[in-house]
Amino acid sequence: MRAIISDIHANLEAFEAVLADIRGLGITEIYCLGDIIGYGPNPCECIDKVMSTNMCLLGNHDQAALFDPEGFNASAERAVFWTRRQLEAGTGSAADRRWEFLGELPRVHREPKFLFVHGSARNPLNEYVFPEDIYNQRKMERIFSLVEQYCFQGHTHIPGVFTEDLNFLAPEEIDFKYELGAKKVLINVGSVGQPRNGDPRSSYVVLNGNTVEFKRVAYDFNKTAQKIYDIPDLDNFLGDRLKDGR
């Protein structure tokens, strides 16, 4: 079995709850699809914990901390600059390891039949694939043409399955399980640290053979939100949204 997580966004409480859930299932193999940092109050701690995963990709917020944010709204941009200051404030080997780790993250990971990206197969770092994109036939056909069979992705924070015949299956509609078969699919694993589908619980998936199971994990989002409220450079909205899963 393998756990696939994404979009931790420096939310330590959520990340620790998900890791505990994964351990409780006896899973030792973890893949992370990027955006370890950004938005949340604990970037250093989350980077330290994600270093022990089996595979981790670069997310757009991770890249923004390394270089400069492009196309970010004002709130996300302020969070990036605050995050960078936290990483720069560290001293010694721990701080150096974090920068080195981020700087070496790949944008894509491939295995036979499987593709892992943060955004999309077409633009691994930045392209969003939203549920409503099933009505954009040209976009979806182009993305599917780049996928051998199965693609796991994050970035939108909205879990679900995109099928090649242009359907989107929300986890609730499929009893939180999907069987991989002959047809191509894109699977969004949702977000550990900032869910946006109306459910404040963390989201990730478990891949067990051909079965994909969507998991939800409760955590103390009020604690994370209060940390955000206590940091002037992080907008209160970033804490508020955790409570509503939006």
pLDDT of 147: 98
Q: Indicate which CATH number applies to the domain containing 90.
A: 3.60.21.10
Return the pLDDT at 177. Answer: 98
Q: What's the pLDDT at 245?
A: 86
Which segments of the chain have a pLDDT < 50? none
Q: How far is CA 101 from CA 12, 54, 61, 192, in A?
A: 18, 13, 14, 20
Q: Print burial letters for 211-225: b (CB count within 10 Å at least 16), e (below 16).
A: ebbbbbbebebeebb
Q: How many residues does this entry show for the chain?
A: 246
Q: What's the rounded Cα separation, in Å, for the pair 211 and 190?
A: 17
pLDDT of residue 54: 97
Q: Which residue has the tokens 């089996």?
A: 54
CA atoms of 192 and 111, how far apart (whole Å): 23
The one-letter amino acid code at 150 reads Y
Containing structural domain, residue 138: 2-244
Number of separate domains in the chain = 1
